[in-house]
Amino acid sequence: MPQPTTSHVRHRVVAFCVALAAITYMDRVAIANLAKFVTRDLALTDEQMSLVFSAFTLAYGSFEIPTGRWGDKIGTRRVLMRIVSWWSAFTVATAGAFNYASLLTIRFLFGAGEAGAWPNAAKTFSKWIPLAERGRTQGIFFAGAFFGAAYTPILIQWLLTFLNWRSVFLVFGCVGFVWAFLWYRWFRDDPAEHPDVSPAERELIAAGRAPEASHDLKNAPWAEILRSRNIWLLCLMYFTQSYGFYFYLTWMPTYLERIRGFSSTGLSLFAGAPMVACMIAGVTGGLTTDKLTPKLGLRLGRGIAGGISFVFASLFTFIGASAADPTSAAILLAIAAGWTAFCLGAAWGACLDISGEHAGVVGACMNTAGQVGGFLSPILLAQLVKHFGDWQIALQVSGGLFLVGAICWVFIDPTRPLRARN
């Protein structure tokens, strides 16, 4: 009797997580694309709006490690359902903001709820995806996030033809509730528990499953982590990447409209263009470092892919900020955004190479450093614009920080893991 065809339930798990990534960024960037209406109706200044942007990042970074550990303890089925339901509730609550204090509180709680989404998605992949498929899976996952951010400006422009900004938040929040319901109903924490997984697929996943990374903060080798030059360099590198990248998640639509004069269709198109570039670059960057590493070795394979991404991100940021033509500026800055994403495969690959069995803790350290950059980015940009009256200077700061990130890649050595003497 012929054997039944191997199931592909793990691919549906990936599809769920890609949808999660897309919804995450859709809800995250919605406020940036609606900022004009929010600031008008709530009488907010640019400085107040910058703190609203950063309230999310502060909460997100503060609660990321605890929520990641929670997923380790009780499984990602329940934790991701809670995460998406929580952030969806506060997406809906954003529609009810009535003043600065209420909006600041709601967006802080929104960030607290969304914290842990990425670590728990990674935890899901560690359970469901064989080691040989991890690279492409991460690339597709990041592409889903950037796709969500790319289509959001266009979707918002369409919704605004018959809804106000408050109703847009209501619609976006409902999407997350649908995902959370379907996820909890269908997903199982372990492939062995899912009725649709065939014995052949169960065996494939189990045979290709790497040892699970440690998220145990109590048993983490903190003395070694704090002494590790590699980890400090990774954190500094990721800080510079996130600082520059968060411009596109927060102030980019305002910049295009207020400084570059875009409106309506042009605004929605060019506000989403950076995320389209990131979607392409995130996948190609991961493939590039995977191809370079076998040929050139681990250090050059990671360092070249990571380093050139920061060099070109800096170059296109400087050129785009100073371009006289609005369309050229928007295109050049979108290309710069793409180069910020090109490094992701190398960055997270190097993190895993260096951290070994403590990838969860080290990855959380690196990502937290990134969130510090994301927290400071909108606040410092608003202050720089207020002080100098010039957005070009604010963007040049990002370009300069990208060069610092490129220098970090000269010294990051993935061939020296955490337990080696750094």
C-alpha torsion angle, residues 286, 291, 293, 299 (rounded to 10): -50
The parent domain of residue 317 ranges over 222-422
pLDDT at site 122: 76
As for how many domains the chain has, the answer is 2
Tell whether 238 and 334 lie within a shared domain. yes
Tell whether 112 and 235 lie within a shared domain. no
Phi (first) and psi of residue 412, to 5 degrees: -65, 130
Q: What tokens appear for 197 in the block?
A: 């997984």
- Mean per-residue pLDDT for 405-413? 96
Tell whether 302 and 261 lie within a shared domain. yes
Specify the CATH number for the domain of residue 373: 1.20.1250.20
Q: Which residue has the tokens 């798990």?
A: 13
Q: Which residue has the tokens 């040989």?
A: 132
Tell whether 150 and 276 lie within a shared domain. no
Q: In whole angstroms, give the CA distance from residue 402 to residue 151.
A: 26
Least confident of 174-188, 232-246, 248-262, 305-319: 248-262
pLDDT at 421 over 50: no
Q: In whole angstroms, give the CA distance from residue 370 to residue 99.
A: 29
Out of 163, 190, 212, pick the residue that ends a domain: 212
In tens, the pLDDT along 208-235 reads 565 555 555 556 677 888 889 999 999 9
Least confident of 5-19, 44-58, 118-132: 118-132
Between the alpha carbon of residue 46 and those of residues 22, 43, 93, 160, 271, the distances in Å are: 27, 10, 22, 22, 19
Averaged pLDDT score across all residues of the chain: 86
Could you tell me how far CA 74 lies from the centroid of its own chain? 24
- Mean per-residue pLDDT for 12-18? 91
- Mean per-residue pLDDT for 394-409? 96
How crowded is residue 12: how many other Cβ atoms within 10 Å of its Cβ? Answer: 15
pLDDT at site 210: 54
Q: In whole angstroms, give the CA distance from residue 83 to residue 88.
A: 8
Q: Which residue has the tokens 């190097």?
A: 350
Q: What tokens appear for 45 in the block?
A: 């200044």
Whether residue 18 contacts residue 140, with contact meaning beta carbons closer than 8 Å, is answered with yes
Give 61's pLDDT tier (boundaries 50, 70, 90).
confident
